Chain A
Amino acid sequence: MHDNAIKLRVFRKGPGDKGPGRYDEFKVPLEEGMSVLDAVNYAVENLDSTISVRWNCKAAHCGSCAAEVNNYPRLMCKTRIEDLGPVVTVHPMGAFPLVKDLVTDLSGNFEIDGKIKEFRPKEGLGEPWIMHDIDVGRAQEFRKCIECFLCMDVCHVVRDHGTKYVGPRRVIKAAALDMHPMDTIDRSVSLTKDGGLGLCNVTKCCQEVCPEHISITDNAIIPEKERAADKLYDPVLMLVDKLKALGKGEEDGTKKNE
């Protein structure tokens, strides 16, 4: 196989570098089953050890090696070279601040995470808990998420509005908790009011790139939007709340949600 080689183009930009950055080219010999991550690591280990790249499990279980490969958001470990052309271009995820080369700063994601109300089970539940697969399964779909943040990377709302929209990853996180059979909190209103869920115009780009094939838009975003609409815009409830608010002189007329 070693008579075959590809041209690997790797984005380079250091912390102090001004300007748009550049692409360095490497000739990488092909091996059967080689992934884009293998190719990048070949370059790091043999040609230029100063390339910064983040990876971990190499098995599509951890979600560390997300990048834009030939302009498409993918996990590098799961993208096979033979499915691409003779030229492979690797660029870091554009939705996050750049650290160096292919590495971006994901810490903002965890700050948002801390703001989504954590699991709060019903009180006085006897143990062991009885739950059924059919109910558990709905939340389990979202708990498959490996936090690669490709859904955030591809999301044009995140790119255009920044932190005004929490983004698809955070919506499925909230949905996983909301759909937990024993949970007692509704997060749809706070997702809408504080998390900008209304900005999402359901183009489904996020679920298209999800390496875990989670139906992000269909099964999480749309149901959360619907639930929030019920709470916020149900005309009867709105009237009741308005009257209540008038009575109390409050500006915010919605039901108290956490």
Chain B
Amino acid sequence: MEYDSHECDVLVIGAGGAGMRAAIAALDKGCSVIMLSKSVLGKAHTVMAEGGIAASVANVDSGDDWKTHFRDTIVEGCYIGNWRMAEILAKEAPGAVYELERFGALFDRTTEGKIMQRAFGGHTFKRLCHVGDRTGLEIIRTLEDKILHRNAKVFDETVATSLAKDGDRVVGAIGFHMRTGRFAAFSAKSTVIATGGLGRIYKVTSNSWEGTGDGIALAFKAGAELSDMEMMQFHPTGMVWPPAVRGLLVTEGVRGEGGILYNSKNERFMLKYSPEKKELDARDIVARSIYYEIQKGNGTEHGGVYLDIAYKGREFIMKKLPGMYEQFKEFSGVDITKDRMEVAPTTHYFMGGIRADPESCATTVDGLYAAGESASGLHGANRLGGNSLADILIFGRRAGEHASEHAKGIAAHHISRTDVEREAGRIMRYLDGHPDAKSPYLLTDRLREAMQRHMGIIRDGEGIRKGLGIIKGIKSELIGVGVKGIMDFNQGLIECIALEHMTVLAECMMASALEREESRGAHARSDFPKKRQEWKVNIICVNRGGKVSLSHSKVPEPPMELAEIIGEERYA
């Protein structure tokens, strides 16, 4: 079999904000870098980030500082976030924003000409530096231009299907180029996973095509520990109508700029659920409030609630939220400068993922690093809006730097022909052409249905057990899955591989959710509605010969001076 063979110091899998920032950091350290992207370069899910990047530059609210940002992150993450990661985030975010500006990004400005900031849920101060409602696109384009002018090898539309190992060490990845169907080995001294989240494991999601958790599943199969797999964030406001766009994100920026939620009785119901913070409470709380209103029969015709920004006037909306105006006009024929939007919660962001060291982003497997949404720890049980864009820049850079340090100390390992051929054989089996091969789309539908039904905003033990049963059923059917066609740009084949990943991850998510017998942040159980002190732990998943093995890890206690900033956690 013919295949391409590449070698580098640092292999970055994923080309969103975290991957690109990691690649730039590794290049800065003098390493040779290969970056893989499942999509066309520049299309990663980061482009979907709208509202802004959280950093306490205090241009609008002068009282803001890193301590407040740190406290907001830990408190709204319900105290199971890693204190050191939160400290790094809060301290380094302003620098990351200014660095982006030096790279050429153009943020909106205050009247004094400084970077403009807006309010967002759970942030004490106006903290989100933004570019209208397309902040993620600005970040991607800025980093992309840096990469294109540097000496990195970029392979876009290239899928990594497994990590290569030499003993206990990860030594790169094996995959194929979608456009040519050619297999390739990427031998690397260090490998960074920056493949983003897994929103597409649900039926209703704001996530792109690529959000199938590939990197998390690859790391799990390679032996890395995952944590907080029960923590899936439901964004309070996704579109509900028409059905074709159900789940599409309506940026929190709408509420940040003054948007108000009403039920079908025209009551501003957030006054009841969160009298102080109202619409701008943390995402878990607003999402659940909307869910309860809909359950109570106070929903709109299409099963949502109303979000009103029209009262702010056309000029304001066109300046602050042009993307939202366009989105509603094009997709549902609603003019948001005149009418209210219909919204409901949508699967949005994964707080769980690969367990990574706060300083170095090293995973529990030698040679493997993780950053961004595919890593876990920073956001705890609930992520604050705007923290993920800071996360990808700060921890992307750290992952790239530490992966480079690691690469300098070791010799290269060449991925063997045997390994490549075995992996290629495993992938090409999906194209065997059995007349009774099962469609990956049907099984994926079943999996998404099970996740939506049993792992939604409110869960219970019985439901999760049912869900686990369905996933195990799907797992047993995987062997018979297949599609027609050739290797070249075969979407069906990609779907088969994604299904493999999603099945593994769904099992980890359900097992962890069943384990956590309490309600905390995004994880709400009707059979255990209270938060409980003994659950101030992170649940760890590890692969034991194809089985998910769970353990508890106590949340590390911060040093005294930081503990004082956060304050004691309260239990009702």
Given A33-B243, A49-B439, A59:B108 Cβ within 8 A: no
* B45 neighbours in A (Cβ, 8 Å): 57
* B42 neighbours in A (Cβ, 8 Å): 147
* B441 neighbours in A (Cβ, 8 Å): 45-46, 49
- Which of B103, B104, B208, B243 contacts A32, CB < 8 Å? B243
- Do the beta carbons of A130 and B104 come within 8 Å of each other? no
* B489 neighbours in A (Cβ, 8 Å): 52, 54, 99-101, 103
Given A31-B244, A113-B145, A58:B488 Cβ within 8 A: no
Given A61-B47, A62-B48, A147-B42, A53:B210 Cβ within 8 A: no
- Which of B103, B108, B210, B483 contacts A133, CB < 8 Å? B108
Given A50-B484, A59-B327, A100-B488, A143:B106 Cβ within 8 A: yes
* A147 neighbours in B (Cβ, 8 Å): 42-43
- Which of A63, A101, A132 contacts B43, CB < 8 Å? A63
- Which of A34, A99, A180 contacts B106, CB < 8 Å? A180
Q: Interface code A61-89, partner B: CB below 8 Å = 1, 0 otherwise?
A: 11110000000000000100000000000
- Do the beta carbons of A62 and B492 come within 8 Å of each other? no
* A61 neighbours in B (Cβ, 8 Å): 47-48, 134, 137, 323
* B98 neighbours in A (Cβ, 8 Å): 127-128
Q: Interface code B452-491, partner A: CB below 8 Å = 1, 0 otherwise?
A: 0000000000000000000000000000000111101111
- Do the beta carbons of A128 and B57 come within 8 Å of each other? yes
Let me know if A236 is at the binding interface, CB within 8 A. no
- Which of A58, A78, A130, A145 contacts B112, CB < 8 Å? A130
Let me know if A118 is at the binding interface, CB within 8 A. yes
- Do the beta carbons of B141 and A143 come within 8 Å of each other? yes
- Do the beta carbons of A140 and B106 come within 8 Å of each other? yes
Let me know if B217 is at the binding interface, CB within 8 A. no
* A60 neighbours in B (Cβ, 8 Å): 326-327, 330
- Do the beta carbons of B244 and A64 come within 8 Å of each other? no
Let me know if A26 is at the binding interface, CB within 8 A. no
- How far is the CB of B167 from the nearest CB of chain A, in Å? 37
- Taken together as a complex, chains A and B put the C-alpha atoms of A183 and B137 apart, in Å, by 20
- Do the beta carbons of A64 and B106 come within 8 Å of each other? no
Given A56-B208, A119-B145, A140-B131, A130:B488 Cβ within 8 A: no
* B484 neighbours in A (Cβ, 8 Å): 49-50
- Do the beta carbons of A121 and B102 come within 8 Å of each other? yes
Q: Interface code A125-140, partner B: CB below 8 Å = 1, 0 otherwise?
A: 0011111110010011
Given A49-B485, A61-B48, A62-B48, A78:B330 Cβ within 8 A: yes
* A118 neighbours in B (Cβ, 8 Å): 104, 145-146, 149
Let me know if B546 is at the binding interface, CB within 8 A. no
* A33 neighbours in B (Cβ, 8 Å): 241-245, 331-332
Q: Interface code B329-340, partner A: CB below 8 Å = 1, 0 otherwise?
A: 011100000000
- Do the beta carbons of B148 and A114 come within 8 Å of each other? yes
- How far is the CB of A80 from the nearest CB of chain B, in Å? 8
- Which of B145, B148, B208, B331 contacts A57, CB < 8 Å? B208
- Which of A34, A57, A130 contacts B114, CB < 8 Å? A130
- How far is the CB of A67 from the nearest CB of chain B, in Å? 14
- Taken together as a complex, chains A and B put the C-alpha atoms of A33 and B45 apart, in Å, by 23
Let me know if B128 is at the binding interface, CB within 8 A. no
* B327 neighbours in A (Cβ, 8 Å): 59-60
- How far is the CB of B344 from the nearest CB of chain A, in Å? 15
Beyond the given pairs A45-B439, A133-B108, 20 more chain A to chain B contacts, judged by CB atoms under 8 angstroms and listed by A's residue number, are A32-B244, A33-B244, A34-B242, A49-B441, A49-B483, A49-B492, A50-B484, A56-B39, A58-B209, A59-B248, A59-B249, A63-B43, A78-B330, A114-B148, A119-B103, A121-B102, A128-B114, A128-B115, A129-B101, A131-B106
Chain B residues close to A by CB (< 8 Å): 39-43, 45, 47-48, 57, 59, 98, 101-104, 106-109, 112-115, 131-132, 134, 137-138, 141, 145-146, 148-149, 154, 156, 179, 208-210, 241-245, 248-249, 323, 326-327, 330-332, 439, 441, 483-486, 488-492, 495
A and B contact pairs by CB, cutoff 8 A, 25 listed:
A14-B486, A33-B331, A45-B441, A49-B483, A49-B485, A49-B490, A49-B491, A50-B485, A56-B40, A57-B43, A58-B245, A60-B326, A60-B330, A64-B40, A78-B330, A99-B489, A101-B489, A114-B149, A118-B145, A118-B146, A119-B104, A136-B108, A140-B106, A143-B131, A143-B141
